[in-house]
Amino acid sequence: MDGGRRVAGSAARASAVLGRVAGSRGLLSLKNNWLRSVRLGLRRRRHRQLCRIIESLPAPVRVLDVGGSPFFWETVEAREHCQITMLNQPDSRDHDVFLRARFRNYRMVFGDAREMPEIPDKSYDLVICNSVIEHVGDWPAMTAAAREVVRVGRHGWVQVPAVEFPVEVHLVLPLLHWFNRSLQRRVVQTVFRLSTAEARRKVDGINLLSRPEMRALFPDAQVRSERLLLLPKSHLATW
């Protein structure tokens, strides 16, 4: 009993410390300045790699962007070589990200990344899935999505944030994603002033991946890690 209370007390203290760190002006400044510039630099490098893949394929390149965003394509210089279809959930139709984007040269379809029976095998030249796999659900759901992405695309480009990196990219909280879910929910609820249900949805909707897990999802793909300060920042599977 005493041991249980000590563990609970330690968790509570860790939660409070992480909450204070996450809410500090220093972290907010990190989010608004350093991380913004880092993300932009990494995105440009990543998009250059993607452009090389696009330019290696006969034009026009039929692209399926699973869970895609038009903002993503605004910085892909080879987009003029592509016929782009974005697959998203029906509730994304009026989402602000689509209404505000300058890039409009795409076709929108609605579906589920985990099951796309309406799309024939290898019917797209290139399938792109950028920071989506980690949001589709638990491991069986991610496995299903990975299988479908490979099935419908002759070539593929799948990127996920790395669990090994010490700052979680969605919440921009240091180290928190390395703790158990219960503690994560408590910190997120405190820092962002959310209800219990909102904190649960926010935390449970993110499942970051390690490089071995990425290899397990895409065993026949080339998997490499994008690094920042020698640490894996994201993992990329291509085929």
Q: pLDDT tens track of the chain, all 239 residues?
A: 555 445 444 544 554 455 555 455 454 555 556 565 666 666 777 888 899 999 999 999 999 999 998 989 988 999 999 999 999 988 765 566 777 777 888 999 999 999 999 999 999 999 999 999 999 999 999 999 999 999 999 999 999 999 999 988 888 888 999 999 999 999 999 999 999 999 999 999 999 999 999 999 999 999 999 998 899 999 999 99
Who contacts 98 (Cβ-Cβ below 8 Å, separation ≥6)?
Answer: 69, 70, 92, 108
Q: Are 66 and 149 in contact (CB under 8 A)?
A: yes
The pLDDT value recorded for residue 48 is 87
The pLDDT value recorded for residue 94 is 58
The pLDDT value recorded for residue 4 is 47
The pLDDT value recorded for residue 7 is 42
**77 half-sphere exposure, CB direction, 13 A CA radius:** 10
**Alpha helix locations (H) across 23-153?**
25-29, 35-55, 70-73, 96-100, 139-152
Extract the tokens encoding 1.
């009993």
Q: How far does CA 6 lie from the centroid of its chain?
A: 36
The pLDDT value recorded for residue 75 is 87
Class of domain 2-238: alpha beta
Please report, for the chain, how many H helices and E strands are present, in that order: 9, 9
Cα separation, 128 vs 145, in Å, equals 12
ω into 60 cis (within 30 of 0):
yes
The pLDDT value recorded for residue 25 is 46
CA–CA–CA angle 110, 111, 112 (5° rounding): 150
The pLDDT value recorded for residue 157 is 97
The pLDDT value recorded for residue 172 is 83
The pLDDT value recorded for residue 45 is 75
